[in-house]
Amino acid sequence: MSLFSRRGATQSADQLIPSRPVQRAGGVSVTPDTALRNSAVWACLRLRANLISTMPVDLYRRVGGIQVEVPKPPVLINPGGERVDIVEWLYSSQFDLDRSGNTVGIITAVDGLGFPARIELVPIAEVTVKVRKGELHKYRIGSEDFDPAKIWHEKQYTMSGLHVGLSPVAFAAWSIGEYLSIQQFALDWFSNGAVPSAHLKNTAKTIAPGEADETKRRFKAATANQDLFVTGQDWDYKMIQAEAAGQDWIEGKRFGISDVARFFDVPGDMIDAAMSGSSVTYASITQRNLQLLIMHLGPAIIRRENALSKLTSRPRFVKLNSDALLRMDPLARAQMLAGQITSRQLAPSEARELEDRAPFTESQLAEFDRLFGKGTSPTPQPATPVPATPGATP
């Protein structure tokens, strides 16, 4: 993404963020597009965009201190028009936010109150932001200029004095470039003939260049047709092996994957990166998802809620239902609901609604009365006595 123009002079993101050049790392050009060849980059962006975009979007307002859900405007249902619903729109914009630190769209329609009714996202690489005297002046998308009032611009990873977010790809270019360089070198080694595949050595005498070329021609002609190559005791044929180099490549790629995961704020085990000395068991999956939500996705979710809330009039506000990320197995969910009903935190009808079931019918209630007796209620469990501390005063 091109970013700024100060005092009328246009500058690109590569010149401003970061200050050192990052266009090339390890001999491989690293851009937001080429970075996607790194499987760790793709996995991190996909995971974050998948989870955040599929969280249900709800609109609320507070009435008497109580959070009450209200109908959503069309911009929170189909923000990009009939062909782009909220899930697709959130995925595309989150992908840009995590990759470039910014997402930009053109406001092509407004509602009766002047709020955006349709936002068409644009490729972030085509956007340039121009700043004059420290103030945002205009956006250039392709060859066309737009007033800031006509542009929807979300950003993350911000710094003081900058009107755009920082690009993780730019700062991770060295790590990504190392990974891509290893991939390119491996391709050159094994397929492109960048190094010889074998060494044919005469152990009896020194071979002149002309004689060496003739020997090589004969050897290639024989092996190309899967024929036999006959030599005496004066020739030594040795395959060039790459086991040691291959191990170095694997270790380098492993390090690159975990390093990239840190740049994109995703735990390494969540993208199947090899993690030495740690393991995640089935019993800890719910807790692991909770940690992912709180430590990694929570800040991004709050930023998106604040941005989406600007699409509606106050005091309405948008909430992304993150409970969808913490789905439990059937047994754990049943135990949770039963505990909330027993402790009077949840009514049975509310629990059935959470399970997408209709309210109890009169015949069902009568059947409960026949089986368990009319008016019965769960017997409260006695509290577990706490052992007295030795030496404590009763």
Residue-by-residue DSSP string for 254-272: HHHHHHHHHHTT--GGGGT
The Cα-based distances of 236 to 204, 205, 228, 240, 330 in angstroms read: 10, 12, 15, 13, 68
Q: pLDDT at position 24, please?
A: 43
Pair 100, 27 in one domain = yes
Please say whether the beta carbons of 242 and 23 come within 8 A.
Answer: no
Pair 217, 170 in one domain = no
Which of the four pLDDT bands, split at 50, 70 and 90, describes residue 73?
A: very high
Rg (CA), the chain: 31
Please say whether the beta carbons of 209 and 56 come within 8 A.
Answer: no
Predicted TM-score (pTM) of this structure: 0.67
Q: How many structural domains is the chain composed of? A: 3
Which residues are paired to 173 by β-bridges? none
* Residue 381 within a domain: no
Which of the four pLDDT bands, split at 50, 70 and 90, describes residue 148?
A: very high
Number of Cβ atoms within 10 Å of the Cβ of 209? 7
Pair 275, 177 in one domain = yes
In the predicted structure, residue 52 carries a pLDDT above the cut 90: yes
* Residue 388 within a domain: no
Mean pLDDT value of segment 63-88: 92
In the predicted structure, residue 99 carries a pLDDT above the cut 60: yes
Phi, psi of 173 (to 5 degrees): -60, -40
Q: In angstroms, rounded to a whole number, what is the distance separating the alpha carbons of residues 124 and 139? A: 12
pLDDT tens-digit map of 124-137: 989 999 888 888 88
- Comparing 259 with 147, the larger pLDDT belongs to 147
Which of the four pLDDT bands, split at 50, 70 and 90, describes residue 76?
A: very high
In the predicted structure, residue 69 carries a pLDDT above the cut 80: yes
* Residue 394 within a domain: no
In the predicted structure, residue 157 carries a pLDDT above the cut 80: yes
In the predicted structure, residue 328 carries a pLDDT above the cut 70: no
Which of the four pLDDT bands, split at 50, 70 and 90, describes residue 26?
A: very low
The Cα-based distances of 33 to 29, 143, 182 in angstroms read: 10, 21, 18
Pair 270, 365 in one domain = no
Choose the final residue of a domain: 257, 292, 323. 323
* Residue 23 within a domain: yes
Q: In angstroms, rounded to a whole number, what is the distance separating the alpha carbons of residues 331 and 229? A: 69
Pair 314, 211 in one domain = no
pLDDT tens-digit map of 240-293: 444 444 444 445 555 567 878 888 899 888 887 766 555 555 456 777 888 888
The two beta strands, 198-202 and 235-239, are antiparallel
* Residue 272 within a domain: yes
Question: Considering the chain, what is the average pLDDT of its residues?
Answer: 76
Pair 39, 64 in one domain = yes
* Residue 307 within a domain: yes
Choose the final residue of a domain: 323, 346, 366. 323
Contacting residues for 177 by C-beta, under 8 A, at least 6 apart:
24, 25, 26, 27, 28, 30
Please give the structure tokens belonging to residue 67: 């959070």
pLDDT tens-digit map of 180-237: 555 555 445 445 444 445 555 666 666 667 776 777 777 676 666 555 555 555 666 5
* Residue 379 within a domain: no
Pair 65, 123 in one domain = yes
Choose the final residue of a domain: 259, 292, 323. 323
Q: pLDDT at position 47, please?
A: 94
Cis peptide before 71 (omega within 30 of 0): no
Pair 220, 262 in one domain = no
Q: Which domain holds residue 340?
A: 328-374
Q: pLDDT at position 13, please?
A: 43
The Cα-based distances of 24 to 177, 242, 289 in angstroms read: 7, 26, 36
In the predicted structure, residue 25 carries a pLDDT above the cut 70: no
Please give the structure tokens belonging to residue 288: 């692991």
Pair 219, 168 in one domain = no
Q: pLDDT at position 6, please?
A: 45
* Residue 352 within a domain: yes
Looking at the chain, which runs of residues are DSSP E strands? 5-6, 9-10, 24-25, 28-29, 57-63, 66-69, 102-110, 116-121, 127-132, 135-141, 144-146, 151-155, 198-202, 235-239, 317-320
Pair 233, 359 in one domain = no
In the predicted structure, residue 44 carries a pLDDT above the cut 70: yes
Pair 35, 171 in one domain = yes
Mean pLDDT value of segment 159-182: 73
Pair 71, 210 in one domain = no
Which of the four pLDDT bands, split at 50, 70 and 90, describes residue 370?
A: confident
